[in-house]
Structure 1
Amino acid sequence: MPPSDIFQSYSDSPPPLLLHLLLLIIIAVSSVIFLVTNFRGGGGGKLPPSPRSLPLIGHMHHLGPTLHRHLHTLSAQHGPLVHFRIGPKPCLLASTPDLAHEILKTNEPAFLNRPKVANLHYLTYGSADFATAQYGPYWKFMKHLLMNRLLGPQTLDRFVPVRRDETNRFLNRALSRARAGEAMDVGAELTRLTNNAISRMMLRTRCSGDDEEEADEVRRLVREMTELGRQFNVSDTFWVLKNWDLQGFEKRLVDVRGRYDVLMERIMKEHEDLRRERKMKDGDDCGLEDCKDVLDILLDIYEDEEAEMKLTRENIKAFIMNIFGAGTDTSSILIEWGLSELINHPDVTSKVRQEMELVVGNDRLVQESDIPNLPYLQAILKELLRLHPTGPLIVRESSQECTIAGYKIPAKTRLFVNIWSLGRDPSHWKDPEEFSPERFMGTEWKKKNNMLDVRGQHFHLLPFGSGRRSCPGASLALRFVPTTLAAMIQCFDWTAVGDGGGGGEVDMEEGGAGLTLSRARPLVCVPIARRGAGDLLSTTTM
């Protein structure tokens, strides 16, 4: 597959002497910017406060791998609204609920786009996906499609047996470890669970098993693409270098997207062949809705000449990439954080087990349909989303100049809303560092938090973002995560071992690479089957 037009061949890069001259020019220009930025005096207060920058790199020396924590430190030092630069690119940081409301609601039209990043732009077929697409007719069509068909209530209901089956398979693997007295990497097994559930919903096949190589290859390729897409690209940051592949990204990007493209074309062709066979057998496609996966729904639109919006094959491939990239790790990471907190807070575990015994009983496994009747379990989920939002930052880019808190924010300014900071704002949360589901249940907080919505209406708790670009996968996560976590503690006690825990306590250090909030070290546990667990799982399939 030929490389995208956004890349130039590395063989066309300038000779070393010219490169050195251009670097000197960049340093000189950056030095002027540095002097103007740091010594301009009051300047009318047009921009929010900013820390001291350095030539060329701007404020990059203030940032680090756990980006949300470094940005939190910037806010603590310079205020809730901070202007900074990543190289020459202007950025805005907001860290309080009031500012989040002003930006994401009052000024929402100015912040409906995501920044264009060269690596991701290429991997998503020129932003042909949903996540990085510019706000406009195509994005609106895909959002409507997602909310009403692809991830709508009817589709989610139809795939309940798939999610239940994959959860049972996971629990049976844990039961085998429990009987053998062996430890298991909980995060790895949860990732396997979520990957299999998503792949069966998307492609009607699992990501693990001797005969499921295609789905597993999709998962591995999407992970490779995600890692490559999030890497810092010097040529993308410094416009003078935009045509020079200084880090050798071009070859890697072309290779991984080419492999993904070939694989997805094969999977799509298999679906198309099967669809033709069904139509020949049944005369039309009516009555086959229950057999369709998400790829089938997308192919329906692709083949419909009268569709409101014509989808291309690239749109479909990029969308599948979005779902695998965003829908698997996020759920497994949140469940892993949930088990970590419950191990460290046995009193909370005891309370939620008592609630499940009253509502579910001891004769069957907890199900998604039970969640509305388990308020304490819902409170645990809200507290997990507050303390451990798997996407700790909302990242947007201003499409026009606007005014925030009295400051003029130029167009093309990259926005970071620190969700992690919002969940720890002491003006909204008592003892914000404490894991306390009771804050969503007790009388002191009942009026404020008991019915607190997590879908973007309350700006001190925004785990799924807010407004038109909020996460469309919230409904799936709010079903799947609490059900899986509840089943894990219904069937097992968990003892942490290794670097992630020991002596009854789980290490809660954060890792991640800026845009995700995973654990710093794997959670390795020995599951101990509770009384009756074998009976609950005896009829499930491995």
Structure 2
Amino acid sequence: MLYCYLFVMDSITFASSSCSLVAGVLLVILIIFLKKKKSKRRVTLALPPGPPGWPIIGNIFQLGDNPHQSLFFLAQKYGPLMTIKLGMQTTLVVSSPSMAREVLKNNDQSFSSRTINTVTRVFSYQGTSLLWSPYGPQWRLLRKTCNTEIFSAKRLDALQHLRRDEVFRSIDSILENCKQENGVQIGERAFMISLTIMGKMIFGNKLFETGSAQAAEFKSMVRQALQLAGLPNLSDFFPFLGRFDLQGLNSKANSLAQRFDNMFDRIMEERLAQRADIPLKYSNEVKDFLDVMLDLREDGTQLTLENIKALFMDVFIAGIDTTSATIEWTMTELLRKPALMKKSQEELDDVVGVKRRMEEADIANLPYLRAVVKEVFRLHPLAPLIIRRADMSCEISGFFIPENTHVLVNAWAIGRDPSVWKDPLNFNPDRFLESNIDYKGQDFELLPFGAGRRICLGLPLAHRLIHLVVGSLLQAFTWSIPMGNEAGIDMSETFGITLQRTVPLRAIPTPRNVSKSYC
């Protein structure tokens, strides 16, 4: 290379055309040399270490019923960057804040898409929804549209009366029936609150009003979709089996997806007919999500009706269950530690008082309630495994990560890392009163919503709704465990799209000493 360089320097005295030719040849030689050197280096780099697996099936049987827990224990032996084989899939498992930062921030562009399983592909309109579409122009359009037109602070503020009214209505319903012996199923109540609120925010009507037949049907459909998407599927581990649909999951998913599609089509056709008959004159601040999306479509954006339906699928399937599960886990932890529940209620009494109900504007002034929710996010993250895919080969911490490698960031494990958290298995909200760690995607010790360009778009809405519901339940009632459960609350988990309680939480509400003006 040095010889070539000297030769070029001597050639400066020749004609400019000769110099350009030599320089061009030298540039080509240099590029080829560097590429070969880089390729040779990659060959010398190895995949991260990992547990030995069985031939063909790999490490599938080592995951068990709760993969997030199994991967946590395997990482204790093989390290925070670990490789496993799931059938034909090479999978990278990330289990520490520093390695999560490498994947979700420092190499964010390399891991900007998500692995999608067979059933989820069906529910996401063949992977074209915002949540599951690969990184590219279409994803950027959907992301920008949702970020500015749907989940912006301005839009959420304009629709907060819908959330407030539904939460208040639910509290009133519990007050009227608080003497029932069986108590309240917290998860079911939170699920219906979330479903009704999302229905009103998206469609602007009482389509999913609690107690209606349509709400019951839609709730059943969402539950079925979540169950199907969370089941292990041989086709995902061995893609060549996909055509056979050996477990029948693909057929069931297609049938259920068609029911969703028919419902969305009916709703959208009715709205389009209304818009044709009566032009919308009201301001953007009071429009529901459906009208906003239809406006954008008519304004010449590349949004299609299928894009809009796919977005609704994302919101209902992914948004409702994660929110209700977090509310249920929060109430579970407070029931296990009544002193912490009392501390939260005292803060509510001091900040909000007893003459009015808590509202979203109060959240900023309730540091202990926010600390409680953060601690729940640490121990019971919305999605225990953050899913990514390597769009291109890259190097992380001296290891080579090939293109198309599946990636699992174990948020559940990171929340229990003893090198990060003191006494990590103890539910202690006070730790966040002395810490600036937050869940907005900048602190990799706490990742309930992910991080990077694929961070959950619904974070602002989830933040508001979770705090409002939990705060309202605590302000209105003192909660206790039903008779016969004195031995304690079953804390076992069921792994799926979201981390659910195996045994649904049932609690007894006792009205607190609130004024008549509150009631």
TM bin (shorter chain): 0.7 to 0.9
Post-superposition Cα deviations, 1:123-170, rounded to whole Å, max 9, x if no partner, equal: 222212111001011111111122211111111111111111111121
Aligned CA-pair RMSD: 2.0
Partners of 1:170 and 1:533 in 2: how far apart? Answer: 18
Partners of 2:230 and 2:493 in 1: how far apart? Answer: 18
Post-superposition Cα deviations, 1:266-297, rounded to whole Å, max 9, x if no partner, equal: 10011112222331xxxxx3434244211111
Is 1:529 the equivalent of 2:514? no
Counterpart of 2:473?
488
CA contact (8 A) 1:206 1:215 kept: no
Counterpart of 2:141?
141
Q: Report matched runs for 1:23-422 at 5 Å.
A: 46-206=46-206, 208-209=208-209, 212-214=212-214, 216-279=216-279, 285-304=280-299, 306-307=300-301, 310-422=302-414
Partners of 1:366 and 1:407 in 2: how far apart? Answer: 51
CA contact (8 A) 2:374 2:429 kept: yes
Partners of 2:210 and 2:126 in 1: how far apart? Answer: 35
Partners of 1:100 and 1:326 in 2: how far apart? Answer: 22
Letter in 2 for 1:167: V
CA contact (8 A) 2:171 2:473 kept: yes
Query: How has the CA–CA distance of structure 1 residues 277 and 533 changed in structure 2, closer, same or farther, with 3 Å as cutoff?
Result: farther
Query: How has the CA–CA distance of structure 1 residues 223 and 526 changed in structure 2, closer, same or farther, with 3 Å as cutoff?
Result: same
> How far 1:528 moved relative to its partner?
0.9
Letter in 1 for 2:508: V
Tell me the secondary structure at the aligned position of residue 481 of structure 2: strand
> How far 1:302 moved relative to its partner?
2.2
**Aligned residues, how many?**
477
Tell me the secondary structure at the aligned position of residue 528 of structure 1: strand
CA contact (8 A) 1:192 1:207 kept: no
Query: How has the CA–CA distance of structure 1 residues 103 and 529 changed in structure 2, closer, same or farther, with 3 Å as cutoff?
Result: same
Partners of 1:512 and 1:181 in 2: how far apart? Answer: 30
For residue 512 of structure 1, the aligned residue among 467, 488, 495 is 495
CA contact (8 A) 2:196 2:210 kept: no
Partners of 1:383 and 1:117 in 2: how far apart? Answer: 30
Partners of 1:400 and 1:204 in 2: how far apart? Answer: 42
Counterpart of 1:475?
460
Counterpart of 1:460?
445
Query: How has the CA–CA distance of structure 1 residues 350 and 235 changed in structure 2, closer, same or farther, with 3 Å as cutoff?
Result: closer
Partners of 1:176 and 1:142 in 2: how far apart? Answer: 43
CA contact (8 A) 2:101 2:444 kept: yes
> How far 1:182 moved relative to its partner?
4.2
Partners of 1:203 and 1:145 in 2: how far apart? Answer: 17
Partners of 2:179 and 2:276 in 1: how far apart? Answer: 47
Partners of 1:534 and 1:363 in 2: how far apart? Answer: 8
Partners of 2:59 and 2:140 in 1: how far apart? Answer: 35
Tell me the secondary structure at the aligned position of residue 122 of structure 2: helix
Letter in 1 for 2:322: T
Letter in 2 for 1:293: D
> How far 1:214 moved relative to its partner?
4.1
> How far 1:535 moved relative to its partner?
4.7
> How far 1:205 moved relative to its partner?
3.1
Gap runs ≥5 in structure 2: 1-42
Partners of 2:332 and 2:487 in 1: how far apart? Answer: 11
TM-score by length of 2: 0.88
Counterpart of 1:26?
none
Structure ID, larger Rg: 2
Query: How has the CA–CA distance of structure 1 residues 345 and 211 changed in structure 2, closer, same or farther, with 3 Å as cutoff?
Result: closer
Query: How has the CA–CA distance of structure 1 residues 159 and 75 changed in structure 2, closer, same or farther, with 3 Å as cutoff?
Result: same
> How far 1:73 moved relative to its partner?
1.3
CA contact (8 A) 1:177 1:526 kept: no
Tell me the secondary structure at the aligned position of residue 431 of structure 1: coil
Query: How has the CA–CA distance of structure 1 residues 289 and 102 changed in structure 2, closer, same or farther, with 3 Å as cutoff?
Result: same
Deviates more, 1:361-370 or 1:179-188: 179-188
Partners of 1:249 and 1:378 in 2: how far apart? Answer: 40
CA contact (8 A) 1:125 1:318 kept: yes
Letter in 1 for 2:314: N
> How far 1:346 moved relative to its partner?
1.9
Tell me the secondary structure at the aligned position of residue 179 of structure 1: coil
> How far 1:533 moved relative to its partner?
6.5
> How far 1:507 moved relative to its partner?
2.7
CA contact (8 A) 1:177 1:184 kept: no
Tell me the secondary structure at the aligned position of residue 205 of structure 1: coil
Counterpart of 1:16?
none
Partners of 1:519 and 1:46 in 2: how far apart? Answer: 39
CA contact (8 A) 2:203 2:288 kept: yes
> How far 1:207 moved relative to its partner?
5.7
Query: How has the CA–CA distance of structure 1 residues 290 and 52 changed in structure 2, closer, same or farther, with 3 Å as cutoff?
Result: same
Tell me the secondary structure at the aligned position of residue 325 of structure 1: helix
Partners of 1:177 and 1:467 in 2: how far apart? Answer: 45
Post-superposition Cα deviations, 1:217-260, rounded to whole Å, max 9, x if no partner, equal: 44433332332233332234213323222222343233212222
Letter in 2 for 1:497: P
CA contact (8 A) 1:491 1:533 kept: no
CA contact (8 A) 1:197 1:206 kept: no
Deviates more, 1:91-100 or 1:223-232: 223-232
Gap runs ≥5 in structure 1: 1-42, 280-284, 538-542
Identical positions, percent: 35
Partners of 1:496 and 1:534 in 2: how far apart? Answer: 27
Post-superposition Cα deviations, 1:482-521, rounded to whole Å, max 9, x if no partner, equal: 12111111111111227xx8228433222232x3111120
Partners of 2:439 and 2:284 in 1: how far apart? Answer: 31
> How far 1:121 moved relative to its partner?
1.8
